[in-house]
Structures are given as structure tokens and as C-alpha cells.
Amino acid sequence: MVKKYRVAHSPDADDLFMFAPVRWGWVSVGGGRVKLEGVTVDIEELNRLALEGVYDVTAISFGVYPLIWREYALLRSCHSFGFGYGPKLVKRKGSRLRRRFRVALSGEYTTNALIFKIAYPEARPVYTHFRQIEELVLKGEVEAGVLIHESILDLPEGLEVERELWDIWVELVREELPLPLGGMALRRSIPLLTAIEIEEGLQRGVELGNRYREIGRKMLEESFQLPISGELLERYLEMYAGEEATQLSEAQIRGLEALFKLATNRLGYPRLGPVESYTIPRGYRTLREGRVQW
């Protein structure tokens, strides 16, 4: 009997690229016993739906995880971090931001909103879809906005960068750690062996996507209507869906723990322990299959 699970991800190029090998049948999950059905939803809506426990496996902003850890475990792959780059706080050219400036953010539960609110506690957020942020700033409906995703690659005429969130992040944690942005979470009620198979299947998808990057990128452009293509798309995928997205590294784990600590100490979020304790215990399969050497 084939078990079906819904995997929700955003329509952004990095999420599409990481899940596409599973969608295209490049990966067999659980020897064909598990079928993953993709659902495409905006990331802030996914954050809110994760609070309600709607999807079996879901993309999330890491900023929301302290609020959902009881229902969801973190996956070790399909994640996006920045290192030396990330979201940008922008304003109209030549303008000056006042202390209580209005700022357009891509969602209340996004990681960039979490970091921004710590750095600018007196600013007045306006939450909107990330593709509308540039226009709101240019029209003067807000004084500034935080650009994310592919918007950071090509700044429109009339806007300039006030601050890089990467610089804010380094100042807050006092160390150059990878900047956690988004990842995947899996419902804890899924049977453990199945959860392991799902995680391994998604990880293989990221590995294959990067191994056959040129083929995957071209298929991505043919399959979906993306706002970027060609060299710009390649650059974006290298930034947010490259080999670093395959498996959480020690530095990425430290970055996550620093983010969760900031959320607790500065915004009153629930306190979390070591990140590893919120991931799927893969060692269970070894015990179950009797491969332990005593």
C-alpha cells in the first residue's frame, strides 16, 4: 500500500528546485511505498498554516519554528541560509529614515521580520506579499522595505540599500555564522521510519538537483513561470539551493541556535535546546534493522 503525504513549499525558485527532483520522479521515496504530493503556497501563508498543523511536511521560515516545535521536527536538508548576503533593507534614493518609519515586511512570522524587529523595535511594520514591497517603497506608501528572494539580485532604479540584514545579523550574534532563512519541517505524528524515508528522499532530491544542475535549471524554467532565468537564476540557486542545502552543517546548526536564542532573549519566544534534539533520530532505523554492533 502506498502512503501519500503532502509536501508544501513556496513558489520561489529555490524551493521549487529542491523539490522538483521528487516531483519529476528522479527520486523514489521508501522504495516506492511513500508518495509525496507537492502543494505550492506563499511562505508566510505556510508559516501560518504550520501554526495550525495543516501539512504533513512544510517549508517554513526558521523564525516560526520556536512556535511549532511540539508539532513539527526539523529536516536536515532543503534549507536556505545566507553567508555574506541575504535580505536587504531598502529605501528611496536620497531619503532619510526616521525612528518610527513604516516598513514593508514579507510576513509577521518570517525570519527577516524577526531579525528586523530586534534591530528596529520602534519601526512600524506593514505586512504584504514580498513581490509588492518594491512598489510600496517607490510609491511612498512606506518609507522602507525588506527585500527577499530574487528581489535582492536586481535593485530597481529609485531604490537604495539602507542596510544589509547580513550585517545586522553579524552585529546581533557577534560572529559570522550562516544566516538562517528557511527550511522544512515534518509533522511528528508521522511514523518514525516513514519520517526517515521522507527526509532521506528529499535530501536525495537536493543532491540530484545539484549534481545535474544545468538540466534541472532548464527543466525548472520550462515547468514554471519564474521571475528570473538564465544566469540570474543560476546565481540565485547557487546562493540558496546549492550543496549547502543538502545537509545541515555544524556552522548552520550554530546559526540556528543563535537565531532561536535571539528570538527568546529579545522577543520572548519559547526557549529551545540544541537543534539536533529537534531533528529526526535516524539512528532508530539502525536499531530497528538490527545493525548495531555491540
The stretch 80-90 carries a mean pLDDT of 97
Q: How far apart are the first and last CA of the chain?
A: 35
Task: Report whether pLDDT(60) > 90.
Answer: yes
Residue type, 223: S
* C-alpha separations of 186 from 7, 40, 56 in Å: 9, 16, 6
Say if residues 257 and 274 touch (Cβ distance below 8 Å): yes
pLDDT digit string, tens, across residues 140-162: 999 999 999 988 998 999 999 99
Task: Report whether pLDDT(283) > 70.
Answer: no
Q: Cα separation of 261 and 278, whole Å?
A: 15
Among 224, 92, 82, 236, smallest CA distance to 151 is for: 236
Question: The cell 555564522 sits on which residue?
Answer: 177
Q: How confident is the model at residue 291 (pLDDT cuts 50, 70, 90)?
A: very low
pLDDT at 284: 59
pLDDT at 166: 98
Residue 72: what are its φ and ψ, rounded to 5°? -130, 140
Q: Cα separation of 161 and 147, whole Å?
A: 10
Residue 10: what are its φ and ψ, rounded to 5°? -80, 165
* C-alpha separations of 86 from 83, 94, 153, 266 in Å: 7, 23, 10, 21
Q: How confident is the model at residue 1 (pLDDT cuts 50, 70, 90)?
A: confident
Percent of the chain residues topping a pLDDT of 90: 87
Cell of 124: 512600524
Q: What is the mean pLDDT of the chain?
A: 93
By the 10 Å C-beta count (0-12 exposed, 13-18 middle, 19+ buried), 96 is classed as: exposed
Residue 176's SS3 state is coil
pLDDT digit string, tens, across residues 231-271: 999 999 999 999 999 999 999 999 999 999 999 999 999 99
Q: How confident is the model at residue 224 (pLDDT cuts 50, 70, 90)?
A: confident
